[in-house]
Amino acid sequence: MNSANQTASAAEFVLLGLSAHPKLEKTFFVLILAMYLVILLGNGVLILVTILDSHLHTPMYFFLGNLSFLDVCYTTSSVPLILDSFLTPRKTISFSACFGQMFLSFAMGATECVLLGMMAFDRYVAICNPLRYPVVMSKAVYVPMAAGSWAAGIINSVVQTFQAMRLPFCGDNVINHFTCEILAVLKLACADISVNVISMVVANMIFLAIPVLFIFVSYVFILTTILRIPSAEGRKKAFSTCSAHLTVVVIFYGTILFMYGKPKSKDPLGADKQDLADKLISLFYGVVTPMLNPIIYSLRNKDVKAAVRNLVAQKHLTE
């Protein structure tokens, strides 16, 4: 009997999502779909202009193009699954598809953590050592930096996903989440997950704590350098070159800290409400940050706005 249960649960999982709140599903379907389309449009435009406009062929915009591509990949790995769950009474996902989705989401999230640290280093060199910037941030340097971010995120995801896949799932196969989020999946394992937990703690130190510390130290030096600039106009211009990145970092890491740092409710009724709140926070974390990134970079960056205008003008001329 146990063997049969293990085989059945290993064949597929059930994603709970908002099944307990059917009235919310249609509302959130429209809302998430609209946000997803904005993500594809906004990040797609940023990717295009960073490729097509020669003025944006610099390290900062190369990283920005990678960030936009990351956001598209990250949301595409989960949002279609979430939208489908809103329309399907009982959403099942196969074992292989579940861990495939887990791998993609984990890889994109870890890569973005490292990439934001690389972008902070780029801003540090640009503001604190402007004369050496062309040498320090040459193409031979910034391309491997971006490639290294992708490689680190993918390798980490391979390790975490492979360890999770090896676990036996011989009990309940209902994932209390919209997607195959690794913590939600590990709760279903009927074996000791201490190795997985230790591995994730180490990964969090590498991909969360170290980049945050690196970004913090970079901005301490950046702000110190900016405050030494004698003119107010010079300080404003210097800060404007890194304000968009700083805003994205605060939103990205601030949401993570809010999600995992808030206290858990011990009251059963409060726990149910908190469970719904946790799901909605996780849902919006997966779409709000990727949606805001292109908006922040386009609204606060004259070069990007000019490149977008040129792209639109060229489209009208060809028509």
Average pLDDT estimate for 102-121: 94
Taken in order of first residue, the domains within the chain and their CATH numbers are: 15-261+275-300 (1.20.1070.10)
What is the rounded distance in angstroms from the CA atom of residue 164 to the CA atom of residue 162?
A: 5
Reply yes or no on whether the pLDDT at 148 is more than 90. yes
Of residues 221 and 264, the one with the higher pLDDT is: 221
Asked which of 7-21, 87-101, 175-189 is least confident by mean pLDDT, the reply is 7-21
Reply yes or no on whether the pLDDT at 8 is more than 80. no
Q: Is the pTM of this model over 0.85?
A: yes
Average pLDDT estimate for 190-200: 90
In 58-102, at which residue ranges do the beta strands (DSSP E only) sit?
Answer: 91-94
Highest mean pLDDT (candidates 11-20, 21-30, 222-231):
222-231
What is the rounded distance in angstroms from the CA atom of residue 31 to the CA atom of residue 209?
A: 32
Q: 255 burial class (0-12, 13-18, 19+ CB within 10 angstroms)? A: middle
Reply yes or no on whether the pLDDT at 121 is more than 50. yes
Reply yes or no on whether the pLDDT at 210 is more than 90. yes
Residue 279: band (very low, low, confident or very high) from pLDDT cuts 50, 70, 90: confident
Phi, psi of 52 (to 5 degrees): -85, -30
What is the rounded distance in angstroms from the CA atom of residue 162 to the CA atom of residue 146?
A: 24
Element (H, E) at 111: helix 95-128
pLDDT in tens, 254-271: 877 776 655 555 544 455
What per-residue confidence (pLDDT) applies to 3? 41
What is the rounded distance in angstroms from the CA atom of residue 97 to the CA atom of residue 165?
A: 12
Of residues 8 and 49, the one with the higher pLDDT is: 49
Reply yes or no on whether the pLDDT at 73 is more than 60. yes
Residue 275: band (very low, low, confident or very high) from pLDDT cuts 50, 70, 90: low
Reply yes or no on whether the pLDDT at 145 is more than 90. yes
Do 176 and 18 touch, CB atoms closer than 8 A? no
- Rounded percentage of the chain residues whose pLDDT exceeds 70: 87
What is the rounded distance in angstroms from the CA atom of residue 171 to the CA atom of residue 160?
A: 21
What per-residue confidence (pLDDT) applies to 4? 40
Of residues 179 and 219, the one with the higher pLDDT is: 219
Element (H, E) at 15: strand 12-15
What per-residue confidence (pLDDT) applies to 136? 94
Reply yes or no on whether the pLDDT at 39 is more than 80. yes
Q: What angle do CA 240, 243, 247 make, to 5 degrees?
A: 160
Q: What is the mean pLDDT of the chain?
A: 84
Of residues 132 and 5, the one with the higher pLDDT is: 132
